[in-house]
Chain A
Amino acid sequence: MTRQLITDTQNTWCPGCGNFSIQHTLKNVLAGMEVEGKSLDDVVLVSGIGCHAKIVDYLNVNTFYSIHGRAIPVATGIKLANPDLTVICCSGDGDSYAEGLDHLIFAAKRNIDITVLIHNNRVYGLTTGQYTPTSPLGFKGKSTPSGTAEYPLNPIELMLASGATYVARGYTRKMDHLKKLVLEGIAHKGFAFIDMLQICATFFPVTDYYSSRVYELSDHNRTDFESACTKAREWDYNSDTKIALGTFFERSLPSFDEKMGQHRIDAAERERAIQEFLLTRI
């Protein structure tokens, strides 16, 4: 039985919001998984808080609507508890580049087998327009009316430095390409990171800017870390230059969930182990 993938919940994103493309990309990815015979009962979608996070209300799969910045540790716990689940983690740029940056870095460092999709609109939308860690220098938001005094951080470079084993960038106006990246990220055994450029229709509507600068990576060796770093630095989320889309880096390493292993034993064996332990303390 094919399930209806979109819930009846009324959608409250602004007209023109980049999140629609992401929702439909995920819907298509899930539909494809079902066609290939994978049970969607084994899929979990985790979100943080912000406009991006409404996606869990709209998609009819298992979801964990967590709190601001904390989607990644939740996703990590789910994967550790049941490595058979496919765990996809949607998070915002405010979520994972500001409030929960530590979790992003550590998830990459430990190579937990989850797919992290950052809805990077480079502005806080739901709190009505403040700068985020990827807003360009001088961004005028409600908390920085004279413009920000700090440079943005480059999440691609940050993820490479943190040990992420799959690092990519997509763009919501290139849905087929984005879908390809998401599929790769899910198929990747280990921590997959995809920075998804999307506009905020209300507070950072920069479609023309992105559309005129993005290009898809070709002739790029994704297994070469040095080339990945060079490519990652081409656009620093601030300067006015072309913007590469695609997979910057990929390598295969044992994942955290594999290495942590499972020491499951039955209740009788556990009871024996407890009794044996008690005897060592006499």
Chain B
Amino acid sequence: MDNLIFLSSTILVYALAQTGQFKLKTRLKRISFLFHPVLVSVVVIVLILVLSQTPYESYAEGTEGLTFLLAPSVVALGVPLFKEWKKLSAELGKILITVIFGSLVGILSSILPVLLWGSPLEVVVSLAPRSVTTPIAMNIANATGGVPSLTAAVVVTTGIFGAVAGPVVLSILGKIETSAFGLAMGVASHGIGTARALEIGEREGAYSALGLCLNGVFTSILVPVLYRFSIFH
């Protein structure tokens, strides 16, 4: 039970980061998005672990409880999905087209840089399902001969980057509809992006959850199909 210190410190660092971001929001203005609690917590904890030469395994053991709550949280997304269903179902056709397109762009934009660089096939394959939630992405990587742990790393980085930079990047498009915002967050940065979207609003969160879900389905179909047509080689 020694490792429980990591659980408490993770929660405390996160709570401090959240309070800090909230308090400094008015002062930091434009750059306040950089102080996203997940990003700050990860950086602080990584520094602590590296400086104290703590093996990651003990940290992971201690924080298993938090990671465990991810799965029921994804299930809980069914609630905003249901609440906003009337609105969502009315535009389901458009949502489907958007997510299929976004899924394809997500895959191609992941594999192009590594293909052009000439990275080995297993790296290309590991990166292809980058934009979907970790368990689905690891399933896909497994099925196509990728390295699931590399996929997990890339997926998490994508999620954090999308959650932090997403709202700023999307503001380039000007003031956009809730649906476009939510779908983009869910399709591009899965669960972490959805968590960010939920912070903005329940409707944003619902669109994002739907984006995450549908993107998981389409990417699961598209990656193996693209792989079979040897687009990755």
Partners in one complex: no
